[in-house]
Amino acid sequence: MLKELIRRIEGILKNRFNGKLKRNKMESKDAARNEETEMKKNGEDQPSTHASTDPSHLHHVEEGRVEKKDRGFPRVKTYRYAMIVGYQGKNYFGMQVQKGPNAAPTIEGHLLDALLKNGWISQQLYDRPFDFFFQRAARTDKAVSAVRQICSLQLPRMDDLPLTGAAQMNAYLPEDIRVFGFRRATQNFHSQKYCDARTYSYTLPTFAFAKPDEKTDSKFRIKPEVVKEVEEILQLYKGTHNFFNYTSKKAFEDRSCCRYIILFTCGEPFLYRDDFRNEDVEFITLTVKGQSFILHQIRKMIGMTISVVRELQSRSAIQRSFEGERMDVPKAPGLGLLLERLHFHNYDKNYAASHEPLSDWGERIEKDINDMKEKQITKEILDTELREQSMMRWLSDLVQHHTFLADPSSAEIAKGTFVQLAARVAKQESSVPLAESVEPEPKPEGEPEEAENSAAK
């Protein structure tokens, strides 16, 4: 009985409240109508029901919608694509685009020019590449080449892009930059973040691995036991290590210096003809695969390996370089470095049913890649090395510009190391027969040995 009474009272109160609210609305409408009629009588303009064009009305929302900012995308449906690129890097200051009136030529700069000339991006997107999600999978430094660089980008939908896109891009690119193909990717594809690993190669003359008692010149031929030694040294880099000594401006505590090396191998030596000097020079290629690399890391790993083989450093120095002590690690020339391949194993596995793989682009594209690699990149690396002698010049400055301790427990370079033995070999080559080669007599304390003086000169 009591519950029924409470329910009736609530109903009466609710009806009264709704009736009062309805009357207030009707009164407001009547007042607005009367005001409009009064303004008509007085000849005044009626207030507009639309947003004012006055810029002071910044917070007015018209028709319940918020206008979206125009980011420069074409008013068409867009897809995310993967683009595979190869380039000879000797004429460019790296991959990443540079801005400004005096910007140096880069690979990305030419790629953006070609996209703009094809009408696939606007000038606004050209100035802001991140707005159409343009991203490279791996950054390459000055003079470094690549044969399978992958870029991700968002372009207007073009059904024939995978078939004709490469030719359209190459029409506006220099001969040393080639686009090999396009493939449609997932809508959130990001070439850098989706890349599982990168593989680089480094080609150099074998005389870089000459021992102290061997002559460093074009006639040098590496021995099988030295190739095996190089292979053993490279294995010391495998796994996760702190490579703060192998880059610049990084502290040991910076966790970004920790990188994972998957494999590091030494190939078989091969001969290449030097037509100018009419002789054969022996080269060898080192291959490294890692999850990712920091600035100068690969070139410094090569430089440290050369130092150990030439007995300027001990093998233990490599392990010590991963620890907290700052060390002088030489950086090998950039000429022989080549980005070989990018790996997208997880992407290919997860999207195998809906998208083409990005680790394998098929026989036709692989043939084009290998043709460019052989004719424009590998040949150019070898010819430039023979012409400019960059490795020989680097080796000649190695001892003068870097500090080495062959014996980690010693504060001085021990006698009989590379400098003295190399000077002795040079002396033997010029005047002294091998049978007369003997150890120099000890000098009084404080007087340097003759071999050290000749090396310094």
Write out the two tokens for 56. Answer: 């002071």
Q: What's the average model confidence in pLDDT over 224-228?
A: 97
pLDDT beyond 80 at 440: no
Distance CA 72, CA 124 (A): 6
- 297-314 pLDDT per residue, tens: 999 999 999 999 999 999
Instruction: Assess whether 343 and 217 both reside in one domain.
Output: yes
Q: What is the pLDDT of residue 220?
A: 97
Residues 389 and 277 in one domain: yes
In the residue annotation, 141 being an active-site residue is answered as yes
169 with 256, same domain?
A: no
- Enumerate the known binding-site residues for substrate: 200
Per the model's pLDDT, the better-predicted residue between 413 and 164 turns out to be 164
Same domain, 331 and 444: no
pLDDT of res. 148:
96
pLDDT digits (tens, 9 = 90+) for 246-269: 999 899 999 999 999 999 999 999
pLDDT higher than threshold 80 for residue 428: no
Residues 151 and 178 occupy one common structural domain: yes
Q: Which residues lie below 8 Å from residue 168, measured CB to CB, with a gap of 6+? A: 118
- Inter-CA distances, 248 with 57, 315, 379, 427, Å: 52, 22, 31, 38
Instruction: Indicate whether 218 and 350 sit together in one domain.
Output: yes
Establish if 15 belongs to a structural domain: no
Is position 286 within any domain?
yes
Q: Which residues are annotated as a binding site?
A: 200
> What token pair was written down for 207?
């005389």
Residue 9 falls inside a structural domain: no
pLDDT reported for residue 99: 83
Among residues 30, 45, 131, 141, the one annotated as catalytic is: 141
Q: Does 28 map to a domain?
A: no
Distance in angstroms (rounded) separating the CA atoms of residues 180 and 167? 8
- What CATH number should be reported for the domain holding residue 288? 3.30.70.660
Radius of gyration of the chain (CA): 35
N residues, the chain: 457
Mean pLDDT of 113-122: 96
Strand spans (E) along 291-398? 337-343
What is the separation, in whole angstroms, between the first and last Cα of the chain? 118
> Does residue 427 lie within any of the structural domains?
yes
pLDDT surpassing 60 at residue 443: no
Asked if residue 414 has pLDDT above 70, the reply is no
pLDDT at 274 over 70: yes
Eight-state DSSP code of residue 138: S
Most distant CA pair in the chain, distance:
130
Lowest model confidence (mean pLDDT) among 75-84, 200-209, 356-365, 411-420: 411-420
Together in a domain, 357 and 257 = yes
- Residue 445: band (very low, low, confident or very high) from pLDDT cuts 50, 70, 90: very low
**Span 313-327, mean pLDDT?**
93
Point out the least confidently predicted range of 17-21, 277-281, 332-336, 397-401: 17-21
> pLDDT tens-digit profile of 146-171?
999 999 999 999 999 999 999 999 99
Q: What average pLDDT is seen over the chain?
A: 83
Domain holding 209, by residue range, is: 197-401
Pick 28 or 375 by higher pLDDT. 375
% of the chain surpassing 70 pLDDT: 72
Band (pLDDT 50/70/90 cuts) for residue 1 is: low
Phi, psi (rounded to 5 degrees) for 339: -75, 110
CA 148 – CA 359 distance, rounded (Å): 9
> Which residues lie below 8 Å from residue 242, measured CB to CB, with a gap of 6+?
252, 257, 258, 322, 323
Whether residue 307 sits in one domain with residue 449 = no
Question: Does residue 312 sit within a domain?
Answer: yes
Q: Which CATH number do you get for residue 172?
A: 3.30.70.580
Residue 207 included in any domain: yes
**455 Cβ neighbours under 8 A, 6+ residues apart:** 399, 419, 420, 422, 423
- Within this chain, do residues 359 and 397 fall inside the same structural domain, yes or no? yes
DSSP assignment, residue 439?
P
Q: Do 187 and 102 share a domain, yes or no?
A: yes
Helices (H) and strands (E) in the chain, counts: 14, 10
pTM to 2 decimal places: 0.73
Q: Dump pLDDT digits (tens) for 172-206.
A: 999 999 999 999 999 999 999 999 999 999 999 99
249 and 362 in one domain? yes
- Show the tokens assigned to 304: 């440290």
* Total domain count, the chain: 3
453 with 440: CB under 8 angstroms? no
The whole-number average pLDDT for the span 92-105 is 88
Q: Check residues 152 and 73 and name the one with the higher pLDDT.
A: 152
Predicted confidence band of residue 98 (pLDDT cuts 50, 70, 90): confident
How far, in Å, are 204, 279, 282 from residue 271 at the CA level? 11, 10, 4
Task: List the Cα angle 265/270/274 in 5-degree steps.
Answer: 135
Q: Which of 144, 173, 194 is the last residue of a domain?
A: 194
Q: Which pLDDT band, with edges at 50, 70 and 90, does 408 fall under?
A: very low
Say yes or no: 383 and 445 in one domain: no
* Residue 421 in this model has a pLDDT that exceeds 60: no
In a domain, 31, yes or no: no
